[in-house]
Amino acid sequence: MARILVLLLSAVLALGACAAPPPQQPTLGADGKPLPKLYRIRAGDSSRIQFRMLDSVNALREAAGQPAVQLNAQLNAAAATHSRDMSVQNRPWHFGSDGSSPIDRVRRVGYAGNLVGENISETYETELETLAAWMDQQNTRNVILSPDARNMGFSWLQEDNGKIWWTMVMGN
């Protein structure tokens, strides 16, 4: 009898462990709306994120009848430098803490072409959500879809609190 009771109790515990957890309620902000989920970028995600952005940008460019762009290591370096610098300054803007402009930064990394434009963002959103926000604004959309662009640099810095400083640089 004790064995049967132990077996039944074990079966009930095993089945209970298989049950799906109750749905988790989203955390709500002061306005009563759900807070966004924190997007964490892991160390090994860099090339996956850069190529996902490149593929997305080229799909948008193709739909607009523009030629594809390719990733450029020098423009990636200029973008990475500016993302770090925006974090240090704690503000999203196109000028470096040393007064440098986007043109100065692409020259410093030895890029032989010309700057077409630079898009920046301070957000907790993914790279594709950021691209969608850039496409919603005329000036940043013009940089992405510029007929002159042939090269793209894309980088970011994520702070410990999850904030991401994105930078996209287009050149020709």
CA–CA separation, 17 vs 164, rounded Å? 38
User: Which pLDDT does position 30 carry in this prediction?
Assistant: 81
Q: What is the pLDDT along the chain (172 residues), one digit of tens a residue?
A: 455 544 444 544 444 444 444 455 666 778 887 766 677 888 888 889 999 999 999 999 999 999 999 999 999 999 999 999 999 999 899 999 899 999 999 999 999 999 999 999 999 999 999 999 999 999 999 999 999 999 999 999 999 999 999 999 999 9
Phi and psi angles of residue 73, each rounded to the nearest 5 degrees, phi first: -60, -35
> Given its phi and psi angles, is residue 53 left (phi above 0), alpha (psi -120 to 50 degrees) or beta?
alpha
Find the helix packing angle between 46-63 and 127-135, rounded to 10°. Answer: 30
Q: The sheet that has 115-123: what strands, in order across it? A: 70-71, 151-158, 164-171, 115-123
User: Which pLDDT does position 29 carry in this prediction?
Assistant: 72
User: Which pLDDT does position 19 carry in this prediction?
Assistant: 44
